[in-house]
Amino acid sequence: MAKIRSLLTLAYLCATALGDGYTPKNTHQYCFYATYTSLNTLSWPAASNSSSKAVELTHGQSKRAATLKKSPAYCSGLVEVTSLYASATTLCHGEEFSEGIVFWKGLCKSVGFPLMDLTDIKTTATNEYIESLAVINPSTTNATKIISPVVLDKHYYDKAVRYLVSMIILLILQRTLPDRTRGQT
């Protein structure tokens, strides 16, 4: 566990230097971020309780007709939200869990939708319930839709953290090292 925390701290320090997209704001949020990025690669059912809103598109000075934008499943899809919550409960502890929820709310807000109310999920997600869920490894799951809540495999999560750290370091190296091909003919 200390090794994973060290990797998460490194990921945070590197990502802070990058500042791209919606990224965790502190080291505690990386536990949820690794869980989210792992589970979000799977195929989830459309959010039945999904909210939609009109989004006005502008191009230069002219405005186009409003289009309907649906809330992503990680914000309002009961199966994916329950899976994320159950996985975070299993993998993230203490501040990692509470800060992960803060990150999740911010992630949903960054795409223009609120995170659905977690009250019912918190009540349902007892230890017994979570232990009854299928454990999923995204690298061995076929393309079928996930139709009921699952929990992310711990070994896959550990790999996801290592991959996340290595990608962030690679991005930093690409941005900071001089381009050796410039000026060469």
Token pair of 17, please?
Answer: 């230097």
How confident is residue 51, by pLDDT bands cut at 50, 70 and 90? very low
> What pTM was estimated for this model as a whole?
0.74
Q: For residue 151, what are the β-bridge partners?
A: 135
Which range among 3-17, 64-78, 102-116, 156-170 shows the weakest confidence by mean pLDDT? 3-17
Q: Please state, in angstroms and rounded to a whole number, the distance separating the CA atoms of residues 12 and 174.
A: 17
pLDDT for 166: 82
pLDDT for 183: 53
Q: Please state, in angstroms and rounded to a whole number, the distance separating the CA atoms of residues 95 and 103.
A: 12
Which residues in 42-58 are b (16+ Cβ under 10 Å) and which e?
bebeebeebeeeeeeee
pLDDT (average), residues 135-143? 84
Which residues in 151-183 are b (16+ Cβ under 10 Å) and which e?
bbbeebbebbbeebbeebeeeeeeeeeeeeeee
Torsion of CA 20, 22, 23, 25, to 10 degrees: 110
pLDDT (average), residues 3-7? 54
Which range among 28-37, 60-69, 100-109 shows the weakest confidence by mean pLDDT? 60-69
Please provide the distance, in angstroms rounded to a whole number, between the alpha carbons at the two ends of the chain.
49
Token pair of 117, please?
Answer: 């109310």
Q: How far from the centroid of its chain's Cα atoms is residue 145's Cα? A: 18
Domain-wise residue ranges, the chain: 2-169
pLDDT (average), residues 13-32? 68
pLDDT for 36: 92
pLDDT for 180: 59
